Amino acid sequence: MKVSGRKTGSALSHAPDNWHAIDWRRVERNVRGMQIRIAKATREGNWRRVKALQRMLTRTLSAKLYAVRRVTQNQGARTAGVDRELWDSPESRWLAVGRLKRHGYKPLPLRRVFIPKANGKERPLGIPTMRDRAMQALYLLGLEPVAESTSDPNSYGFRLNRSTADAMSQIFVVMARRSSAQWVLEADIKGCFDHINHKWLENHVPMDSVILRKWLKAGLIYKGQLQATEAGTPQGGIISPTLANVTLNGLERELIAHLGAKFGIGKAKKLKVNVVRYADDFVITGDSKEVLEQEVRPWIDAFLETRGLQLSEEKTRIVRIDEGFDFLGWNFRKYSGTLLIKPSRKNVQTFYRKVADTISGHKAVKQEELIRLLNPMLRGWAQYHSPVVAKQAYSRMESLVFYRLWRWSKRRHPNKNAEWVKRKYFHSIGNRHWVFAAPVVQEDGSKGLLELYQISGTDIRRHRKVKGEFNPFDPLWEQYSEQLRQDRMEYSMRYRKQWVALYKSQGGMCAHCGWALTNETSWHDHHLEYRMHGGTDSLSNRVLLHPDCHRQVHVGKLVVTKPAPSLH
């Protein structure tokens, strides 16, 4: 990869003088180097060194640049806090870096908003200001390596390269055999984010306790009134998921150790107790109902009580696997000894209601616009369930959506007969009939059809689970981490074949800075020769870049050349 034109800052020892002059590859290398050192000190139990390295990291220019980029590239970047300030220009981002200082720092209260939940209730969110988000992102850079190095092996929520599909796969591993545990404790923590004990967090979270206390006690503003925060970590803060994970770390390891100490290692294994956790939701398997009721449940209650938490009596239950249970949108149940995982009824109903509301709420829009609204929803839902037994659910959902779209089409033309409506809104494509599709003019000027995403055409593919002991900050896992990241990125892009081809040809790296492209960093599709200058849409004229790198290339009028083919 070569870049010509105005030079970007080649090293942070020669500090850049504006946002577009930042050498992001050097920034990422500096931050990752420090994080690897923090993780190593954590594994060695050298907590004094951990603290010193964290303090050093949060004072570096690289970490501050990285933190500002993270909070200005994520989905919440357009949502302001109580000061209504957004960092939506390169100039404001550059000025923001200089404001990330510990001395004299005082966070502003959170802005309280409510978003609807699937059950009809509302979830409270606390929106910090941009500066407070960036400070959280900065200190999270030092906390994440510690959290990853001390996490339970089967904790899968809000961790690098881990997902709900990994949690689902682990449940399959521990419950699929005929000799597997037959009972499950399906647990739900009552208002986890709202009730975590502040004193426990200050005493046990391995980070700057003064800064942490300021965030926890910042308060929130709702309807113009300032409210104190005496417990909990607000949903909406960038560091909150990691704080919740740190709070619940040990749930698996300490429970297994407790049973081993009480019954002996051999007998404890025969109890078939396994913990699978995703954020604050978890399930625990057991060989009998008595083991879960008399040994596991009391221990869990005591573990949570010290942290200011408790299980919800209404939502926590113990069931046999042949009765089935729901977890993360799936239903797990054994049928005649065979474990099948399907989309849960509640998940299907909630999604259908969302699609139906979208269709009925856009009665007057053009067909093309409705398809563009629906396609990301349909694709996202179908891909989420693609690792499980979902074909029947796909077909059912497709039928329900078709019925809604037929009503939408008929309503627009009450004086036309069914055959006319069909010809206008539904087409035959290949061997498929009744395809909801709209005529569009494509980029090359030719006419084509924009069709509704075909849910039933989604491939069912078994998920390859991440190894439980994987640590992204341990150099011994570097090769595994690279392969895992590339496999999962290619899988997430699988319905955009051109992006997959570009991603593979670049070895999963940005063609400008040479650093990894991930779902978190996002990417832009860049034309080497601009289309306004006659450039084509062919793959030979395109590369993938980080969003900031893309802006840097355009502002600096830099020339990016096509990377050499990857050997991977």
CA separation (Å) from 230 to 219, 412, 448? 8, 54, 59
Cα gap 527→538, rounded to integer Å: 9
**Would you say 65 and 33 are in contact if contact means Cβ atoms under 8 Å apart?**
no
Angle, CA 256 vertex, CA 252 and CA 260 arms, to 5°: 170
* pLDDT score recorded for residue 12: 61
In the predicted structure, residue 16 carries a pLDDT above the cut 90? no
* pLDDT score recorded for residue 8: 36
In the predicted structure, residue 265 carries a pLDDT above the cut 70? yes
* pLDDT score recorded for residue 15: 76
Query: Residue 92: in which H helix or E strand, if any?
Result: helix 90-97
Cα gap 57→102, rounded to integer Å: 12
In the predicted structure, residue 130 carries a pLDDT above the cut 50? yes
CB-neighbour burial class of residue 5 (10 A; exposed 0-12, middle 13-18, buried 19+): exposed
**Would you say 40 and 83 are in contact if contact means Cβ atoms under 8 Å apart?**
no
In the predicted structure, residue 531 carries a pLDDT above the cut 80? no
CA separation (Å) from 292 to 62, 262, 275, 466? 48, 15, 12, 27
Count of C-beta atoms within a 10 Å radius of residue 526:
20
Mean pLDDT of the chain: 91
Sign of CA dihedral 122, 124, 127, 133: negative
**Would you say 286 and 272 are in contact if contact means Cβ atoms under 8 Å apart?**
yes
- Encode pLDDT of 368-399 as tens digits: 999 999 999 999 999 999 999 999 999 999 99
- Encode pLDDT of 195-224 as tens digits: 999 999 999 999 999 999 999 999 999 888
Looking at 112-126, 211-225, 235-249, 405-419, which range is the least confident one? 112-126
* pLDDT score recorded for residue 180: 97
In the predicted structure, residue 530 carries a pLDDT above the cut 90? no
Cα gap 258→275, rounded to integer Å: 13
Q: What are phi and psi of 503, to 5 degrees?
A: -60, -45
CA separation (Å) from 41 to 46, 253, 325? 5, 20, 41
Quick one: average pLDDT of 542-564?
Answer: 85
Quick one: average pLDDT of 426-453?
Answer: 89
Cα gap 173→20, rounded to integer Å: 48
Closest CA to 504 of 519, 522, 520, 517: 517
Amino acid at 279: A
* pLDDT score recorded for residue 230: 87
CB-neighbour burial class of residue 504 (10 A; exposed 0-12, middle 13-18, buried 19+): middle
Query: What is the DSSP secondary structure assignment for residue 427, as one 8-state letter?
Result: E
Quick one: average pLDDT of 179-202?
Answer: 94
pLDDT band at residue 9 under the 50/70/90 scheme: very low
- Encode pLDDT of 485-523 as tens digits: 888 888 878 767 788 888 888 988 999 888 888 877 888
pLDDT band at residue 447 under the 50/70/90 scheme: confident
3-state secondary structure of 288: coil
pLDDT band at residue 46 under the 50/70/90 scheme: very high
- Encode pLDDT of 313-372 as tens digits: 999 999 999 999 999 999 999 999 999 999 999 999 999 999 999 999 999 999 999 999
Q: Set out the domains of the chain in order of their start, with CATH numbers.
A: 15-149+202-231 (no CATH), 151-197+234-342 (3.30.70.270), 345-457 (no CATH), 475-556 (1.10.30)
In the predicted structure, residue 4 carries a pLDDT above the cut 70? no
In the predicted structure, residue 249 carries a pLDDT above the cut 70? yes
Q: Which two tokens stand for residue 39?
A: 């993780």
Look at the block and give the residue holding tokens 């960092």: 87
* pLDDT score recorded for residue 567: 46
In the predicted structure, residue 565 carries a pLDDT above the cut 80? no
pLDDT band at residue 76 under the 50/70/90 scheme: confident
3-state secondary structure of 495: coil
* pLDDT score recorded for residue 443: 67
pLDDT band at residue 118 under the 50/70/90 scheme: low
